[in-house]
Amino acid sequence: SPAPPWSPPLSPRPPGCPARAWPVLSQVSPPPWPPDGLASFRSFLRSEFSEENAEFWVACEDYKKTKSPVKLAEKAKKIYEEFIQTEAPKEVNIDHFTKAMTMKNLVEPSPTSFDMAQKRIFALMEKDSLPRFVRSEFYHELIK
């Protein structure tokens, strides 16, 4: 699938790096990105109690690739209940407007139903989590 419009052009994905993770990881560091980069980034997020952002982003990438309307509806419900609804177990931090638009989009689930929320979370990770990750021990261990 093409790179999201908010991403710079991607360099070739390193072997062992999950395709859906590469747009996020390529923001952090120039290639070559070590194969365990996503695991390291998620460990860092877990240490900061903010892993739900990466989990939501990955769930949305998987959701967009779903072809069956029945499966799409099932996944939409699961993502909504896990990440979007108020008091969800892994509720992501999105503004009221984005949450309302996402809920409106879910009346008739489509592959783009979560796009706005996913872009907001990506921007949050890019602006907030990724710079802290680059300064962290997790990152320095990764690039040794």
- Per-domain residue ranges for the chain? 22-142
The CATH number of the structural domain formed by 22-142 is: 1.10.167.10
Residuewise pLDDT in 10s, the chain (144 residues): 344 433 344 445 544 544 555 555 555 544 445 567 777 888 888 888 888 998 998 899 899 999 999 999 999 999 999 999 999 999 999 999 999 999 999 999 999 999 999 999 988 888 888 888 878 888 778 777
pLDDT of residue 134: 79
* Distance between CA atoms of residues 41 and 3, nearest Å: 20
In 3D space, the residue among 50, 16, 39, 49 whose CA is nearest the CA of residue 138 turns out to be 39
In 3D space, the residue among 59, 91, 87 whose CA is nearest the CA of residue 74 turns out to be 59
The pTM for the full model equals 0.72
